[in-house]
Structure 1
Amino acid sequence: MKEEVFFSKGMKHVKEDYPDLYEASIQLNDVCYSGKTLDYKTQKLIAIGIAAAASDDRAVKKQILSGMAELEITRDEVVDVLRVVLLLAGKPAFTKGMNALYKIEE
Structure 2
Amino acid sequence: MKEEVFFGEGMVGVKKDYPDLYEAIVGLNEATYTGKVLDYKTQKLIALGIAAASSDERATKKQMMSAKKEFGVTKDEIVDVLRVVLLTSGMPPFTKAMKILYEL
TM bucket, shorter chain: over 0.9
Unaligned residue ranges in structure 1 (runs of 5+): none
Deviations 1:4-23 (A, max 9, x none): 11111110000000011111
Q: Aligned partner of 2:5: which letter?
A: V
Q: How many residues align?
A: 104
Are residue 38 (structure 1) and residue 38 (structure 2) matched? Answer: yes
**TM-score for both structures, normalised by structure 2:** 0.97
The 4+ residue runs of structure 1 with deviation greater than 4 A are none
**TM-score for both structures, normalised by structure 1:** 0.95
Percent identical pairs in the alignment equals 65
Deviations 1:11-63 (A, max 9, x none): 00000000111111111001000111000000000001000000000000000
| 1:6-17 alignment, distance < 5 Å | 6-17=6-17
Unaligned residue ranges in structure 2 (runs of 5+): none
How far apart in 2 are the matches of 1:31 and 1:102?
32
How far apart in 2 are the matches of 1:85 and 1:18?
35
